[in-house]
Structure 1
Amino acid sequence: MAGGRRGLVAPQNTFLENIIRRSNSQPDSSFLLANAQIVDFPIVYCNEAFCKISGYNRAEVMQKSCRCTFMYGELTDKETINRIDQVLEHQLYDQFEILLYKKNSKLQ
């Protein structure tokens, strides 16, 4: 095929499909995937476990920022929010815990 592979067989899509397949085989795995090449890193996939835990359906989550600001609440630590912003802005690796809220406003 001239011009390279496209669609679902393109290398980046195969990579994402492998991540999704492996993670979905883990029974307690709840996760999101975001596109780091687009401004504000929109969510491009969330698995069913994430929807079940958070109370949000896929349509409500897709294309929102991976910062998950829609899940912040009054007890979500502002310092951790700032760390998330810094990590994303400067493309750094970090690990932290953050308090998120379910759709019904209960703690996650």
Structure 2
Amino acid sequence: MTQGQAYPLLLHRCESNCAIIYCNDGFCEMTGFSRPDVMQRPCTCDFLHGQATARHSAAQVAQALLGSEERKVEITYHRKDGLNNEDYEPAPGE
């Protein structure tokens, strides 16, 4: 993905306690986390936060999810290995 390109929705279905109860294969591949690593983690995805994740953006995501609000937020998430979308370039043709 190129810088500034948004990822599609990759997590879905959060219980009332905000635990992740489903994630797709694409999410696991993109983040480097296995499905068991992700299950029952907070749907705010704080486990994907890193040095490039702005606190303000993370707070907006949490507020939207916990308050059931629709909101557009630009946020940088990190892979399990610490890389983020600004740390790598996609291969040609991707």
* Range of TM-score over shorter length: 0.7 to 0.9
The alignment-based identity, stated in percent, is 28
After TM superposition, give the deviation of residue 84 of structure 1 in Å: 1.5
Compared CA separation, residues 87 and 46, structure 1 to 2 (3 A): same
Higher strand share: 1
Q: TM-score, normalised by structure 1?
A: 0.65
**CA–CA separation in structure 2 for the residues paired with 1:70 and 1:77:** 14
Task: Tell me if 1:85 matches 2:65.
Answer: no
Structure with larger Rg: 1
Given the alignment of the two structures, is residue 102 of structure 1 paired with residue 82 of structure 2, yes or no? Answer: no
TM-score, normalization: structure 2?
0.74
RMSD: 1.8
Alpha-carbon displacement from aligned partner over 1:62-104 (angstroms, at most 9, x marks no partner): 1101111111001101111111122123221101121000000
Which structure is higher in helix share?
1
Aligned residue pairs total 79
Q: Which has the higher contact order (CA 8 A, sep 6+)?
A: 2
* 1:60 is the counterpart of 2:40: no
Code of the aligned partner of 2:42:
S
Whether the aligned pair in 2 keeps the contact of 1:55 and 1:102 (CA below 8 Å) is: yes
C-alpha offsets along residues 19-75 of structure 1, whole Å, 9 cap, x if unaligned?
xxxxxxxxx956111324x22x11111111111111000000011011111110011
For the residues of structure 2 that align with 1:73 and 1:29, how far apart are their CA atoms? 20
Q: Which runs of 5+ in 2 are unaligned?
A: 1-6, 86-94
CA–CA distance in 1 between the matches of 2:8 and 2:34? Answer: 16
What's the counterpart of residue 91 of structure 2? none
Structure 1: gaps of 5 or more residues: 1-27
Separation (CA, whole Å) in 1 of partners of 2:42 and 2:22: 12
